[in-house]
Structure 1
């Protein structure tokens, strides 16, 4: 038993030494490990052996050279969407210096408009050549993953990570955390045990051993760490309670809230009965409430929260709305009832019944700000001939928010002065003579009209595109369009103009329609 315990303590000492060496080396230049501050410190790469200093050499002139890593292609090339799917060239990033691209991406806000969300996710998943001077570490790849994590889009983030080299420590720690929040942590722990090149940290090792049912080994590692004085009081309390949850009940212990909640802390607290509500945590944590073990109400609230950021599909959202029969009223229950009533009307009453139920569905969608996902889901219904001819205001508005907005506009007939602007945008026929009488108090009408009638407009996004830095230009346009909602509406026009200049006409129209139809300003 002593030799068994000694092996674990020795292994623990090696982990601690590796952790210290990596922490010192990683932060020596002041660079953060990640733009996501809630990532778990789940692994530490083994420190490299120090080399003896070489003797000085004099009298030699060293020419300027360019170094190209020989250990394989840059991780930045990894993507899930080929060029023929996105319509974006593979040179998306190649003319931009890597530090500029990474900085621009980290500065890009999570958009509130669905069209901008979809565009940003597409940029993150696009297959493209690496930026100029790309480092072997794949800094742009990591920044793309981090942006998806920031949006709460864990499923695409996890797929993107799994298309890369998961054995790289900075990639694995992101994969491990997405696994913790999506309920696939057992697979991640198994992979961790099969990758000896990665050194798991103490908490990760204890967690994975316990998940595998090897509680004695987990306890030995923790006891060894305690004997070495290698655990902080907070870590000791959490890990001890995780291995012995009954202790918390016997002594009525309450853990103090951490300065920063990580997915590993979150799951261990959940295991000992001290779960933290995800509504108070970064958006990505809401994915943990989508698991089947979670109460339906919390599943619904999490699905709506993630849907507002474009992080879950419309199929998943409607699936949660229709999972059970609401047992109460008010709030999310009323929204679930409205979706179920509309579904029932479609199946049992036909077009007339569906049109009667549609206003309640639209009102429910507006209250949760999920109009576009529901419009996408019910697109086939909204474009049926009987619905298009009915002149139903809710059907018209939801139809314009769906991918079939052109068909809806084409069936509009002779719209009034309010709807004429929406129809003109949807048809791509907006002119300076288009009536805007019904939009007198809307500050976005003039910028939208300028974007579609004045040709190319000067903007930072347009300058970047003209310089061949397309990816940066698109990020700049996304930021400008989003900023117009909370700042100067005039910035919307140049952003839309920049998108149209590179052939993203559909995106520009959908942004304009969503700005006018959705309440996202302010």
Structure 2
């Protein structure tokens, strides 16, 4: 649903919370640049791109021209961020920092950086009116995390006409089952010259199979289509000719176009190790429940899907096996059933196994977002009551938990103080991380290393650097304190508190 031009699904995804990253796969490491799975769907640059690197004295744009770096989905009235957040920072620096944000990390930072990627902000001062580097970096961060729907909404707000944007929009459309629409847009855009594989794919999608086959033969004869590409395209155009032959060998470096073609010929690639953007295909019931479960866990950890979508898949069927994900599903389903039944004793008994399962999967915050409110309204018994408050502190209602409950020990008193934004008591035995967090909640706030960025009107750059520091959850004490102080000093108190609580509670 859209209201005043804002996609409410995107807002819900951004602010609904994301899951913790306790189980990090090597396939989910942060990107260094443009996602390498993007297809080569176009062959020449946009007609409006200059061939001269010199800077003109005056730049003239049509009145209705769109500055891509200024395009966003979330206005300042929603994000609370100043419109001039990027200030005097260099566009290249901001783009590099945006792409360097981790695929998985501290949930509060995942949510915050996704907000930055979708925010409607003025371009950096001195940026070219025709520039798009920061816009593309924002897109690439979302795509690498597998956040396809927000990325597609952002591109459609901008209008996917520039080749660099169209290339990403085309591939996202393939991965979200909108291939026919993507091909129609390609055919209608005179500034886009598609590659031969893209043309063949779209001709076939449009029903012109003879033209597609003719173009395949021409491309192979001219050496513009490789042998491997030709084999895949030939099977895509006429799979009956290859009945009885072995399937194509696995390819860990598939593009979105190749992935879609393999899906079309019923040779679904194994998503293990594939980029998160491809994992969306496994959310379909056609993939089988086990594949759905794995995909839902991975995409929830990266913040690409809302916790409610993960839970819907988790509770869709009864597990028929045991071990690994099946044990996690059984634990959550048993807890969910007890809570729905309103049985406080059974809920108390089932909470600990469910919470342990979520810890193993790195899904504690997703679990907390869904269940915290109902848990706190259930009269639990024994240690389950303390655990329920811990779950609540990891949810959006953390401050309500701290104000309504009486702390039972020093750790809980410490966490409650952080939840209320108060200086906590540091007692003997407090961990190094606890002391670092406590220092950030001192009154008055201590000085921090990001002050020079603020003075130089580079606040957005400072926030990206601080987010990257906190995201890993393993920064040293001084860096952690400085990053938290920055968020508090500029009025992002909720983000600072949630990050601090997650650092403390997820460590334990």
Q: Shared fold (TM-score greater than 0.5)?
A: yes
Q: Which residue of 2 aligns with 1:17?
A: none
Equivalent of residue 87 in structure 1, options 74, 80, 98 = 80
On the 8 A contact 2:282/2:295 being kept in 1, the answer is yes
Say yes or no: does 1:480 pair with 2:484: no
Q: Partner of 1:412 in structure 2?
A: 405
In 2, the alpha carbon distance for the partners of 1:180 and 1:459 equals 46
Provide closer, same or farther for how the CA distance between residues 465 and 151 of structure 1 changes in structure 2, counting only shifts above 3 A.
farther
Distance in 2 between residues matched to 1:451 and 1:380, nearest whole Å: 28
From 423, 426, 434, give the equivalent of 1:445. 434
For residues 47 and 306 of structure 1, do their structure 2 counterparts lie closer, same or farther at Cα, with a shift above 3 Å needed?
Answer: closer
CA distance in 2, matches of 1:396, 1:500: 24
Residues 476-501 of structure 1: CA deviation (Å, up to 9, x unaligned): 11012135x34524311100001100
Question: 1:315, 1:466 → 2: CA distance?
Answer: 41
- Kindly state the Cα deviation for residue 251 of structure 1 after the two structures are TM-superposed: 4.0
Tell whether the 8 Å contact from 2:104 to 2:301 is kept in structure 1 after alignment: no
1:61-210 equivalences under 5 Å are: 65-70=57-62, 72-135=65-128, 136-210=130-204
Instruction: Using the TM superposition, give the Cα deviation of residue 174 of structure 1 relative to its aligned residue in structure 2, in angstroms.
Output: 0.8
* Alignment root-mean-square deviation, CA: 2.9
Contact 2:307 2:366 in 1 (8 A): yes
Say which of 345, 353, 356 aligns to 2:346: 353
Pairs within 5 Å for 1:351-390: 351-384=344-377, 386=379
Partners of 2:436 and 2:363 lie apart in 1 by 25
- The match for 2:36 is 37
CA distance in 2, matches of 1:343, 1:48: 57
Quick check: 2:66–2:158 contact (8 Å CA) kept in 1?
Answer: no
Alpha-carbon distance, 1:344 to partner: 1.7
Partner of 1:290: 283
Measured in 1, the distance between the counterparts of 2:374 and 2:341 equals 14
Change (3 A) 1:346 1:382: closer
Contact 1:326/1:333, CA 8 A, preserved across alignment: yes
Distance in 1, matches of 2:474 and 2:412, equals: 25
Q: Does 1:465 align with 2:454?
A: yes
Deviation of the 1:397 alpha carbon: 1.5
**Distance between the aligned counterparts of 2:227 and 2:249, measured in 1?**
11
Which deviates further from its counterpart, 412-421 or 442-451? 412-421
1:99 Cα deviation from its structure 2 partner: 2.0
| Distance change in 2, residues 1:254/1:285 (3 Å) | closer
Q: By how many angstroms is 1:467 displaced?
A: 1.9
In the aligned structure 2, how far is the partner of 1:188 from the partner of 1:436? 60
Whole-angstrom CA distance in 2 between matches of 1:472 and 1:158? 25
Aligned residue number for residue 423 of structure 2: 430
Local SS of the residue matching 1:199: coil
Tell whether 2:326 aligns with 1:326: no
Q: Which has the higher contact order (CA 8 A, sep 6+)?
A: 2
DSSP 3-state at the match of 1:131 = coil
Between the aligned partners of 2:182 and 2:237, the Cα distance in structure 1 is 20
The CA deviation at 1:151 is: 1.6
Among 303, 326, 344, which residue is 1:310 paired with? 303
Q: 1:228 aligns with which of 222, 237, 254?
A: 222
CA distance in 2, matches of 1:336, 1:253: 33
Q: Relative to 1, partners in 2 of residues 1:393 and 1:132: Cα closer, same or farther, differing over 3 Å?
A: same
- Contact between 2:197 and 2:225, CA under 8 Å: does it hold in 1? no
Which position in structure 1 is the counterpart of 2:488?
Answer: 500
The Cα of 1:460 is off from its aligned counterpart by 4.8
Partner of 2:9: none
How big is the shift at 1:292?
Answer: 3.1
The higher radius of gyration belongs to 1
1:442-466, CA deviations, whole angstroms, 9 ceiling, x for partnerless residues? 3311211111116445555332123
Cα deviation, 1:229-282, whole Å, max 9, x if unaligned, reads: 322222222212222334444443633636x32111122223334433222112
Cα distance in structure 1, aligned partners of 2:317 and 2:110? 29
Report how many residues are paired: 474
Question: Which runs of 5 or more structure 2 residues have no equivalent in the other structure?
Answer: 1-31
TM superposition shift of 1:112: 1.0
Cα deviations by residue, 1:19-55 (Å, 9 ceiling, x for unpaired): xxxxxxxxxxxxxx962222111123467599999xx
